[in-house]
Amino acid sequence: MDSVRPNPAPSKSKLAKTFHRVIHGKKSSKPFSNNGFCLLIPQEKLRCCESQHFDKEEIEECKEHSKNKAVMEAFVAKLFATVSSVKAAYAELQLAQFPYNSEAIQVADQAVVNELKALSELKHSYLKKQIDSSPPHVTLMLAEIQEQQSVMKTYEITMKKMQGEIEIKGYSISSLQNELQETIQNNKSLERKLNASGSFSILDNVKFSDVNPKDFIMVLHYAMRSIRNFVKFLIKEMESANWDIDAATNSIQNNVTFHKSNHRAFAFESFVCREIFCGFNEPAFSVQNDDSLFYGGTNRRNFFFEQFKKLKSVGVTHFLKQNPSSLFGKFLKAKYLHLVHPKMEFSFSGNLNQRKLVNSGEFPETEFFKVFSEMGRRVWLLHCLAFSFDQQVSIFQVRKNCRFSEVYMESVTDEIFSAAGVEFKVAFMVVPGFNVGKTVVQSQVYLSPITLPAKH
């Protein structure tokens, strides 16, 4: 049996060649490392390194593009700043014209021209592509400063213009207020003259032989104007005395919803009418018990028409001084003591001096009593005219919560009828109605809508 022989070991020369091939076969472009081994660099990095000169060209192009962009942004900023300057200069030109100021107009006009020239120069520089005159960041900063200054200037001019308009409006308001005060004073003067003289031209047309319902309606309207004037004066006095108007209104007409706040005056008007017309159907107007003593056995119609003629053309103050114990004086005394409560009088004047004078048969000359006595005079004239008719004249009242009737009533407010398909009831009567023979003079009422039951 043959013995096994081991393979012969490689020769030294073959092993040396192999190591030599590994170490010296490829030469690196990089130096060796400290430990004696070479660093192998991938081919992709080698190609990147070879193309570095192309990246430098792109960087230069990018820098150029950024520079051009910055130049253009600076140019646009300068353009807008110039436009703002034009607007500011034009605003200053407008301000100089109102009010007219020739020197300021010339200065502002030259400023507008200069800014327009600057705008034209920017246009030509853009067309010639000559806009890179200074570092962009400096131009941009200067343009922002210029625009802010122009905006501030425009704001200042606008404020001056508005301040001027406010002053003009103030002068106008002051002038109108002066005119209003003059008109009020003239009206008061005319009213005093009218009350002093007692003259009222249309009353002169009332003839005894031809007295008719139209005359009665005319004198009724004449009396109602005086009643409403007294109500306004009364409310004004209440407000000056710090009255609670809502509470006072509710004490006269409670549980009434008013459509507008100024409608509360109708409640006071209803109170005054109720008191001043109380006893109207009686010849003596409830001022004395025996009516026969009132007109002394003469023809009643003639007596009352003579009373009408006496008072229609005389001032009430003058008449009362001359005739303090007259029937009209007794009527006025009774109505004042009944209508004006002592607490009311004390809150208005701080004393009861007026009441003491009236109670003693004298008549004060205060503004309040003058307005009251003029109202009494006109109501007395209406009463005298009513008893001058050859047909019966009587007053009638309207009950609260009754349905509205167009025959016997008219609303003191028209806007309530704007709601279609709604029925109304009387919240309260403001002015009583009158029957003049067969003619009905409608009462005036304040209405409220009726809540109808829902239909099923």
pLDDT tier at 276 (50, 70, 90 boundaries)? very high
Q: Which has more confidence, 165 or 13?
A: 165
Mean pLDDT of 76-105: 78
Match 């003191």 to its residue by tokens. Answer: 412
- With beta carbons less than 8 A apart as the criterion, state whether 433 and 410 touch: no
Mean residue pLDDT of the chain comes to 79
The SS3 assignment for 445 reads strand
pLDDT tier at 46 (50, 70, 90 boundaries)? very low
265/375 same-domain check: yes
Contacts of 404 (CB under 8 A, 6+ apart): 411, 423, 424, 425, 426, 445, 447
- With beta carbons less than 8 A apart as the criterion, state whether 428 and 278 touch: no
User: Which H/E stretch holds residue 430?
Assistant: strand 424-431
Q: For position 11, what pLDDT does the model report? A: 47
Q: For position 13, what pLDDT does the model report? A: 52
pLDDT tier at 18 (50, 70, 90 boundaries)? very low
Report the distance separating Cα 327 and Cα 283, nearest Å: 11
- With beta carbons less than 8 A apart as the criterion, state whether 448 and 257 touch: yes
Q: For position 440, what pLDDT does the model report? A: 95
135/211 same-domain check: no
- With beta carbons less than 8 A apart as the criterion, state whether 139 and 78 touch: yes
Domain range holding 237? Answer: 206-390
- With beta carbons less than 8 A apart as the criterion, state whether 272 and 231 touch: yes
Q: For position 32, what pLDDT does the model report? A: 39
Strand partners, 425: 403, 448
Q: Of the candidates 332, 363, 390, which is a domain's last residue?
A: 390
Q: Of the candidates 110, 129, 162, which is a domain's last residue?
A: 162
- With beta carbons less than 8 A apart as the criterion, state whether 393 and 436 touch: yes
Mean pLDDT of 310-336: 88
Mean pLDDT of 111-119: 80
223/315 same-domain check: yes
Strand partners, 424: 449
272/362 same-domain check: yes
- Name the domain count of the chain: 2
Q: For position 421, what pLDDT does the model report? A: 65
Q: Is residue 397 part of a domain?
A: no
Q: For position 155, what pLDDT does the model report? A: 81
Residues 127-147 pLDDT 10s: 777 676 577 777 777 778 878
Residues 357-403 pLDDT 10s: 999 989 998 999 999 999 999 999 999 999 999 889 999 999 999 99
* Sign of the torsion angle spanned by Cα atoms 355, 321, 287, 249: negative
Residues 186-245 pLDDT 10s: 877 776 665 554 445 567 777 777 788 998 999 999 999 999 999 999 999 999 999 999
- With beta carbons less than 8 A apart as the criterion, state whether 259 and 413 touch: yes
238/158 same-domain check: no
214/331 same-domain check: yes
Start-to-end Cα distance in the chain: 133
Q: For position 444, what pLDDT does the model report? A: 96
- Return the CA Rg of the chain: 52
**Type of residue numbered 356:** K
Residues 238-265 pLDDT 10s: 999 999 999 999 999 998 989 888 899 9
The count of other CB atoms within 10 Å of the CB of residue 340 is 19
- With beta carbons less than 8 A apart as the criterion, state whether 296 and 303 touch: yes
Mean pLDDT of 143-165: 81
Q: Is residue 288 part of a domain?
A: yes
Q: In the Cβ-directed half-sphere of 37, how many Cα atoms lie within 13 Å? A: 4
Report the distance separating Cα 274 and Cα 429, nearest Å: 9
Q: Which has more confidence, 197 or 445?
A: 445
Q: Of the candidates 162, 186, 214, which is a domain's last residue?
A: 162
Q: Is residue 452 part of a domain?
A: no
The structure tokens listed for 452 are 């109808």
3-state SS track over 212-227 = CHHHHHHHHHHHHHHH
What is the crossing angle of helices 43-50 and 52-97, to 10°? 50
335/245 same-domain check: yes
User: Which H/E stretch holds residue 113?
Assistant: helix 102-127
140/226 same-domain check: no
pLDDT tier at 451 (50, 70, 90 boundaries)? low
pLDDT tier at 2 (50, 70, 90 boundaries)? very low
Q: Distances in Å between the alpha carbon of 104 and those of 134, 180, 279? A: 34, 38, 78
Q: For position 191, what pLDDT does the model report? A: 67
311/380 same-domain check: yes
**Type of residue numbered 32:** F
359/228 same-domain check: yes
Q: Residue 427 pLDDT > 80, yes or no?
A: yes
In this structure, are strands 424-431 and 443-449 parallel, antiparallel, or unpaired?
antiparallel
Q: Which has more confidence, 332 or 154?
A: 332
Q: Residue 328 pLDDT > 80, yes or no?
A: yes
Q: For position 286, what pLDDT does the model report? A: 73
Q: Residue 452 pLDDT > 80, yes or no?
A: no
Phi, psi of 75 (to 5 degrees): -65, -45
252/350 same-domain check: yes
Q: Is residue 38 part of a domain?
A: no
- With beta carbons less than 8 A apart as the criterion, state whether 431 and 398 touch: no
DSSP 288: S
135/245 same-domain check: no
